[in-house]
Amino acid sequence: MSEIVISLRGVSKKFPIYDNPLQKLKEALHWKRKPYHREFWALREITLDLEAGMTLGVLGQNGSGKTTILQLMAGIMAPTKGEIDTRGRVAAILELGAGFNPEFTGRENAFLSGLILGLHPDEIRATMDGIVAFAEIGDFIDQPVKTYSNGMYVRLAFAVAVAMDPDILLVDEILSVGDTYFQHKCVRKIRDFQEMGKTLVYVTHDAEAVRNLCHQAMILDYSRLLARGEPGTIAAHYLALIDSRERSHHSLSGPSPEGKAPVSYSRYGSKEAEITEIEILDDGGRPRTSFNFGENFHIRIRVRFHADVERFVLGNIFRNRYGFNVFGTNADWIGLPLPDMKKGEECLVTFHHRANLAGGTYSINPAASVVTGRRTYRTLDWINNAAIIEVNNPDPMEGYVSLPTEIELRKAGAADDSPAGDGNGGRRRG
């Protein structure tokens, strides 16, 4: 049995909530310690063990207690009730602004972080070049942290944490702030940590990240541990939980003919425009929801406008049965003109696709929006699980989307014009 490196026993955390600073002062000065605050329990009765070498994903909506449990594990706060035991050196990458002195330079903050973790100054100096190289922030390493962008802060925070060679790495969702290149770099480093047998706790809203990065997962909900288990199962549970809450506020029902919307779905938006009809059609214009791999299919969406709308755009996301985004696009991204629509008008938008997908079922999630900036939008009407399509694919593949692929194999030294099948190799499309 592996060693337990993080153990929580009946852990609860309470915060006092004051409506204004004067109430806090009155409470401090009152001779009978009369309370002027309300109690907020960020966590209640959390019990869990995490073995060495495991990566635990923590999912939960805002206010569920995710960041609080990370701060407790890091030793930044003490629990109100219960006990926490961690074994080994712990490094934490918390929310923006935590852990660094804004007046100090990046290099000075890195040095201070090493001292807090118990490293000898010579050890910190030995790792400094690695921190600077990994962060890739150039001369800003010797500038005050208060001058950094969010992305630069994340780069430095992650570089410092991993360079200190912790036994346990605690990561809040700040990785989503960094640019795409650095996100890939961080994930590669996380993979390296996992291969070294390190222990990680990753707090996030991203169910797909949990499914792909974590060995175990848990859901915090209203300050309590709701579920824990295999990442795919927990991620599906979490997405279903979110969808059920959306549905309780925005639910509709209706018939479900072939090629039309299913019985129930959830939606939100300003309703200045409304998606009134969704059809899934084959090349012959016939309603269908089941297609073989490689077949063409067409999604036709009717939109009615209840107000004047400028720079209208329609998009759609395909999600698999676990709720993970498989593919999405919109009219803006592919360069179509963005029309201005008048109140009372309608438009038809048709997406033409080929079913180059792994076998399985996929939901259609269309969104009518207004372009407000570069890749920023205001939602008019977004429907989750508006319709379901099924793709039949008998061929084995990894992942969900099939990329057009050609594989060429030749023996080293073979003539470039040697025909396939001559013993030297060949080329095959798939």
User: Superfamily assignment of 4-243 in CATH?
Assistant: P-loop containing nucleotide triphosphate hydrolases (3.40.50.300)
Triad 309, 313, 319: Cα angle to 5°: 135
pLDDT above 70 (res 322): no
User: Does 252-392 match 4-243 at the fold level?
Assistant: no
Mean pLDDT to the nearest integer, 13-24 = 83
Average pLDDT, the chain: 84
Element of type H or E holding 387: strand 387-392
Alpha helices in 117-230 (DSSP H): 121-135, 150-163, 180-195, 207-213
Q: DSSP letter string over 185-205?
A: HHHHHHHHHHHTT-EEEEEES
- Across the beta sheet with 38-51, the strand order is 38-51, 4-17, 81-86
Tokens 């001559």 correspond to what residue? 422
For 169-185, the pLDDT digits (tens) are 998 876 666 566 777 77
CATH topology of domain 252-392: Coagulation Factor XIII; Chain A, domain 1 (2.70.50)
As a whole number of angstroms, the distance between CA 314 and CA 329 comes to 9
Neighbour tally for 170: CB within 10 Å: 26
For 329-342, the pLDDT digits (tens) are 999 999 998 999 99
By mean pLDDT, which of 44-58, 127-141, 343-357 is the weakest? 127-141
CB 112 within 8 A of CB 105: no
DSSP state of 375: T
pTM of the complete model beyond 0.95: no
Element of type H or E holding 174: none
Under the banding of pLDDT at 50, 70 and 90, the label for residue 215 is very high
Element of type H or E holding 114: helix 106-116
Element of type H or E holding 34: none
Residue in 292, 213, 268 with CA at minimum distance from that of residue 382 = 268
Tokens 């269908």 correspond to what residue? 288
As a whole number of angstroms, the distance between CA 388 and CA 386 comes to 7
CB 38 within 8 A of CB 220: no
Residue in 149, 107, 97 with CA at minimum distance from that of residue 131 = 107
Domain ranges of the chain: 4-243, 252-392
For 55-98, the pLDDT digits (tens) are 999 999 888 899 899 999 988 889 999 999 999 989 888 765 55
Most confident of 180-194, 352-366, 393-407: 352-366
pLDDT the model gives residue 256: 40
As a whole number of angstroms, the distance between CA 289 and CA 257 comes to 10
DSSP state of 121: H
Specify the pairing of strand 199-204 against strand 55-59: parallel
